[in-house]
């Protein structure tokens, strides 16, 4: 069936029917009491999800726009910035800081490895930084970084901690205040189960004080403008109104399931996907202890053309996986289990991969990957 497809890329992710229905409502005005009330309701729940007392600004832009908002408002030319880079998106965050004239020190981990906290500690002890950039969940490698650990190290150095939570928030637990995150950035098209177009950014008082004196130019991305607007339950510019309707519906779903259950579901899906990968005789890029609950990166075996097989998965089985980025191009597959994802999604992805690999002569016993995932699911049921 040509129209049926199983979207398993790490964003955009499948949008639940309930969220689609909410977004199909007639578009209303944004300078209205109704929109102000919607904003107030959504804001309250975002704060709960972020575990913060800080305001959460809902911006009409993609995740990269959120990262740029964070940098433009806190980094001035010549500022010293420490970037903890574990893959493509960590690199992007560092490049945004460079674009704003920062003097960036990059602490790189091998792709597939997490942030090395001991190195971070040493670097922070040797040098003084105004800002530290970190990625909660590195989508390009399927690595979850220890943000509580990073937060503990940055606390007390005086630096601001800016965190990219684009592919984690809504699927992985975050505790903004407890972990000392000054600015947390996320976006709508991943674990939030929405189409692309909204970004959410929480800002601490400490960061807000820096925002006000920062020397970098900004207009659309001005957090001062967003702060002023939000204090009147308003937005600075015309928001993506329909996506706000969808956001309320997706938050309804997250809170009906319960955030803790949502996080447990993601952990389970990740565990099952990795067990299946191993049972097929393949390897994940990330080690089990730091593997992401929202996306699994699978090493393509020697002799199997990764992107060509991905094309076959899509054409023959309707299963859409992502490929590798940067230095991992053509070397891995990335299977997301993020947002509106359940056990049957993982089984679907694994079944398609098994069939495609078997067709190319990879020595596996059909069904072994599936059995390993099923076993993980049955253990908890």
| Binding footprint of ligand PMP on the chain (CB under 6 A) | 11, 62-64, 89, 135, 139, 164, 166-167, 187, 196
- The answer to whether 137 and 144 are in contact (CB under 8 A) is yes
Instruction: Name the residue nearer to ligand PMP (CB basis): 136 or 274.
Output: 136
CA 308 vs CA 283, 284, 304: distances in Å? 19, 19, 8
Question: Quick one: 62 or 235, whose CB is closer to ligand PMP?
Answer: 62
Closest separation in Å from C-beta 314 to ligand PMP: 19
Are 107 and 120 in contact by the 8 Å Cβ rule? The answer is: yes
- Closest approach, Cβ 95 to ligand PMP, in A, equals 12
CB of 235 to ligand PMP, least distance (A): 19
Tokens read off for 76 = 């001035």
- In the complex, the smallest distance separating the C-beta of residue 359 from ligand PMP, rounded to whole angstroms, is 30
**What are 181's two structure tokens?**
């995150």
Rounded to the nearest whole angstrom, what is the least distance from the CB of residue 67 to ligand PMP in the complex?
6
64 vs 95 by CB, closer to ligand PMP: 64
3-state SS class at 153: helix
Answer for the pair 132, 156: CB distance below 8 angstroms, yes or no: no
> Cβ–Cβ contacts within 10 Å for residue 21, how many?
12
Residue 301 tokens, joined: 């075996």
Nearest CB to ligand PMP, comparing residues 86 and 214: 86
Q: Which is nearer to ligand PMP, 196 or 259 (CB)?
A: 196
- For residues 73 and 211, the answer to whether their CB atoms sit within 8 Å is yes
- The distance of closest approach from Cβ of residue 279 to ligand PMP in the complex, given in angstroms and rounded to an integer, is 27
Measured between alpha carbons, how far is 28 from 129 in angstroms, rounded to an integer? Answer: 45
Nearer residue to ligand PMP within complex by CB, 208 or 292: 292
**Cβ-closest residue to ligand PMP?**
63
Smallest gap, in angstroms, from Cβ of residue 208 to ligand PMP?
23
The residues that bridge with 295 in the sheet, in sequence order, are 336
Nearer to ligand PMP, 64 or 105 (CB): 64
Instruction: Tell me the sheet residues that pair with 134.
Output: 163
DSSP string, 243-301: HHHHHHHHHHHHHHH-HHHHHHHHHHHHHHHHHHHHHTT-EESS-GGGB-SSEEEEEPP
């Amino acid at each position: 069936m040509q129209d049926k497809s199983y979207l398993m890329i790490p964003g955009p992710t499948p949008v639940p029917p309930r969220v689609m229905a909410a977004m199909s409502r007639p578009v209303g005005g944004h300078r209205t009491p109704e929109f102000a009330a919607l904003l107030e309701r959504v804001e309250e729940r975002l704060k709960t999800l972020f575990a913060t007392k800080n305001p959460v600004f809902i911006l009409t832009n993609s995740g990269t726009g959120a990262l740029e908002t964070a940098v433009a408002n806190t980094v001035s030319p010549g500022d010293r910035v420490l970037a903890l880079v574990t893959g493509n998106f960590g690199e992007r965050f560092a490049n945004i800081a460079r674009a704003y004239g920062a003097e960036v020190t990059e602490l790189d981990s091998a792709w597939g490895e997490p942030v090395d906290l001991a190195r971070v500690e040493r670097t922070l002890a040797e040098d003084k930084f105004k800002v530290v950039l970190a990625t909660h969940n590195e989508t390009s490698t399927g690595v979850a970084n220890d943000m509580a650990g990073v937060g503990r190290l940055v606390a007390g150095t005086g630096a601001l901690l800016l965190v990219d939570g684009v592919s984690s928030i809504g699927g992985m637990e975050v505790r903004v205040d407890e972990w000392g995150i000054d600015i947390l950035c996320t976006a709508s098209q991943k674990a939030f189960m929405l189409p692309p177009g909204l970004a959410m950014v929480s800002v601490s008082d400490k960061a807000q004080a820096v925002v006000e004196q920062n020397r970098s130019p900004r207009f659309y991305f001005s957090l001062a403008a967003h702060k002023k607007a939000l204090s009147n339950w308003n937005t600075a510019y015309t928001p993506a109104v329909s996506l706000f309707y969808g956001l309320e519906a997706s938050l309804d779903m997250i809170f009906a399931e319960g955030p803790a259950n949502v996080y447990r579901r993601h952990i389970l899906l990740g565990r099952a996907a990795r067990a299946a990968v191993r049972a097929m005789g393949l390897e994940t890029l990330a080690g089990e202890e730091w593997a992401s609950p929202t996306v699994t990166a699978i090493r393509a075996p020697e002799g199997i053309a990764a992107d060509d097989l991905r094309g076959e998965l899509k054409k023959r089985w309707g299963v859409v996986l992502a490929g590798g980025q940067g230095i991992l191009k053509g070397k891995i597959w990335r299977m997301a289990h993020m947002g509106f994802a359940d056990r049957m999604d993982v089984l679907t992805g694994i079944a398609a991969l098994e069939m495609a690999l078997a067709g190319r002569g990879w020595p596996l016993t059909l069904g072994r990957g599936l059995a390993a995932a099923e076993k993980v699911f049955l253990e908890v049921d």
